[in-house]
Amino acid sequence: AQKITQTQPGMFVQEKEAVTLDCTYDTSDQSYGLFWYKQPSSGEMIFLIYQGSYDEQNATEGRYSLNFQKARKSANLVISASQLGDSAMYFCAMREGGAQKLVFGQGTRLTINP
C-alpha cells in the first residue's frame, strides 16, 4: 500500500491565488512526521515545512502552511498568494516512529500562470 498519496499530478493556478496541494498518508504509528519539499526545474530539493503528529497547531512558514487533519490522515500544503517562482514539483513525505527514513509521494507539478 502507498504510504504517501498525492492525487494531483499537475495543477495550474493564477498568480496571486492561493493553492492547496493534497497529501494523504497511511501509518499505524502514533508518532510520525510529515514534510513538504519543493523541487524547481533546476533539480534541487528544498525543505519547506514540517508537522509532527503530536503538534496541536498547524505548521506555518511564511506563505506556506500545512493543513493537518489527523483523523483524515491528510497533510495538505497551502501556499498563499502564489508567485511565478512557486512553479515546481512539490513532494509530501513522511517519517514513521523513531525511524529517520523519509518516504516520499509521487509529487504534484504546480504551474503558476501570470
Partner 1 sequence: DAGVIQSPRHEVTEMGQEVTLRCKPISGHNSLFWYRQTMMRGLELLIYFNNNVPIDDSGMPEDRFSAKMPNASFSTLKIQPSEPRDSAVYFCASSFRRLAGGPEQYFGPGTRLTVT
State residue 24 phi and psi, 5-degree precision: -120, 150
Contact status: 33 vs partner 1 (CB under 8 A): yes
- Give residues 73-102 in contact with partner 1 (rule: CB under 8 A): 91, 95, 99-102
Beta-ladder partners of 69: 74
Contact status: 43 vs partner 1 (CB under 8 A): yes
User: How far apart are the C-alpha atoms of 30 and 59, rounded to whole Å?
Assistant: 18
Please, which residues have CB within 8 angstroms of residue 91's CB and are 6 or more apart in sequence? 6, 36, 37, 38, 39, 45, 104, 105, 107
Which of 32, 107, 108, 110: binder of partner 1 (CB under 8 A)?
Answer: 107
Rounded to a whole number of angstroms, the minimum distance from the CB of residue 74 to partner 1 is: 19
Rounded to a whole number of angstroms, the minimum distance from the CB of residue 111 to partner 1 is: 18
Which of 10, 12, 17, 46: binder of partner 1 (CB under 8 A)?
Answer: 46
Q: Measure CA 32 to chain center.
A: 15
Residues near partner 1, by CB under 8 A: 33, 35, 37, 43-47, 50, 52, 91, 95, 99-107
